[in-house]
Amino acid sequence: MMIFTTPSSDDGSTATIAESASEPIVNEPVPLAADTALSHAVVGIGRFGCVHARKLLSMPGFHLRALVDCSPSARAAGELAALPLLSSLDDMPQDIASATVATCDDAHAEVAMALMRRGCHVLVEKPLCIDRHEGAQMILTARQCGVTLGTGHIERFNPVFDEALLHRLRNAAANHRRGRGTQPLMRFRRCSTRIATARDSVLDLMVHDLDLFAWLCAIPAEAPLELLALHVDAHGVRARVRLDALVAEFESGYGSLPAARLQLCDGHREQWLDLRGAASTAAAGGDDALARQYRGFRRAVLGEPSRIASGADGLAAVTRACQILHA
C-alpha cells in the first residue's frame, strides 16, 4: 500500500526512492490514438484533488475511472461519489493510461514513480517534489518507462498570456539580455490567506512565479540562478535574482488578501497584470486555466506541442525555490 503522508525527504526515504527507480516496469504505456479518451485516475482527494476530479468529469479527451486515497477518512462527495474510491494503487484497473498526483507534497515523488512504473502518464501538482534528488529520479523513471511526466504549473495556462502578450514578453526579455540590464525586467507578488510560516510560501507560492518567469522568458531549465538579495520577515519572503542574464524580483507570503500580480518593466513602460483577476474571468466563462492545463497535458501525452511544464521544468522551479529557501 502506498502511504501518501510518509515524509520522503530524509536520508532513509530518499534511498528507498532511489533504489525503487531501478525496479522493473510493471506495465508498458497504453497505446493511444488521437481520438481516444485517456483512462484517468486522481490520486489524493483532498481539496485540490477533488477540484481536479470534478474538472476531469467534464473534460473531453479524458475518462475519469477511479479515485485513490489511502486515508481511512477519505470520502468522495457529490458527483464524485459514483466513482470507485480505492485505497491503494495496486487496486487500480490495469488499463489506466494517465493519472493526476494531488497528494501531500512530500509524497509526490514516491506516488508518481509508482504510477509511471505501471505505464501511466502523470501530471503532478506543483511543486513537482520537495527535494531535487527526488526530482531527478522522477525524470529518470519517466524516461525509462517511456511516459510523459508533467508538472501542474497552472499559471502557464492563465488566459492573460495569449500569444500576442507572450511574443511581446519574449521580445522584452531578448532586449533586456542584450542591454545587460541591472534593473528587474519583471516583479512578481503572490499572497494567500493560508496560515503558515513565511518560508513555507516559497515552495507553495513563489515556485509558481519562478516557473512562470522562466517560461515567459524562454529560460532553459539548466540555467543557474544567482540570488542577488533576500529579505525574510514574519509576513513573507522577497528575493531578487538573476537568471539567464535577466533580473527579476519575487515576493510571496501569507495572511493577507489573495493576490497574484506581475509587473512588467519594459523600457520606459510599466504594466501590472492581475493574474488572479484574469483567471477568475476565464473561469466564469467555463474555459479556466485547469481545463486548459489538462488539454495541454493530453497534447503532451500525444507528442504534440504544449505549454505544459515538463518534469525538467518542474525540477528547475523546485531547485531554484530551494536555493532561495535555504540561503
Break the chain into its structural domains and give their ranges.
Answer: 11-152, 156-286+309-325
C-alpha–C-alpha distance, residues 194 and 282, integer Å: 24
Q: Is the dihedral of CA 197, 202, 205, 206 positive or negative?
A: positive
C-alpha–C-alpha distance, residues 85 and 72, integer Å: 11
Q: Which CATH number fits domain 11-152: 1.10.150.20, 3.40.50.720, 3.40.50.620, 3.40.50.150?
A: 3.40.50.720
- What was the pLDDT predicted at 24? 53
Cell numbers representing residue 87 in the block: 485505497
Q: Do residues 25 and 83 make contact, with C-beta atoms less than 8 angstroms apart? A: no
Contacts for 284 with CB less than 8 Å, ≥ 6 apart: none
Please write the tens of the pLDDT for every residue from 247-262. 999 999 998 889 999 9
Other Cβ atoms less than 10 A from the Cβ of 272: the count is 11
DSSP string for 215-234: HHTT--TTPPEEEEEEEE-S
C-alpha–C-alpha distance, residues 322 and 303, integer Å: 31
127, β-bridge pairs: none
Topology of the domain covering 156-286+309-325: Dihydrodipicolinate Reductase; domain 2 (3.30.360)
Using a pLDDT cut of 90, give the percent of the chain over it.
76
Amino acid present at 138: M
Q: Do residues 120 and 111 make contact, with C-beta atoms less than 8 angstroms apart? A: no
Residue position matching grid coordinates 515567459: 216
> Which strands make up the sheet holding 246-254, listed edge to edge?
225-232, 236-243, 246-254, 186-192, 259-266, 269-274
Please write the tens of the pLDDT for every residue from 94-126. 999 999 999 999 999 999 999 999 999 999 999
Q: Report the run of H or E that residue 153 belongs to, with start and end.
A: none
- What was the pLDDT predicted at 223? 97
Amino acid present at 230: L
Please write the tens of the pLDDT for every residue from 43-92. 999 999 999 999 999 999 999 999 999 988 888 888 999 999 999 999 99
Q: Do residues 102 and 49 make contact, with C-beta atoms less than 8 angstroms apart? A: yes
C-alpha–C-alpha distance, residues 35 and 45, integer Å: 28
Other Cβ atoms less than 10 A from the Cβ of 77: the count is 8
* Mean pLDDT computed over 121-138: 97
Q: Do residues 61 and 298 make contact, with C-beta atoms less than 8 angstroms apart? A: yes
- Average pLDDT score, the chain: 89
Q: Do residues 86 and 68 make contact, with C-beta atoms less than 8 angstroms apart? A: yes
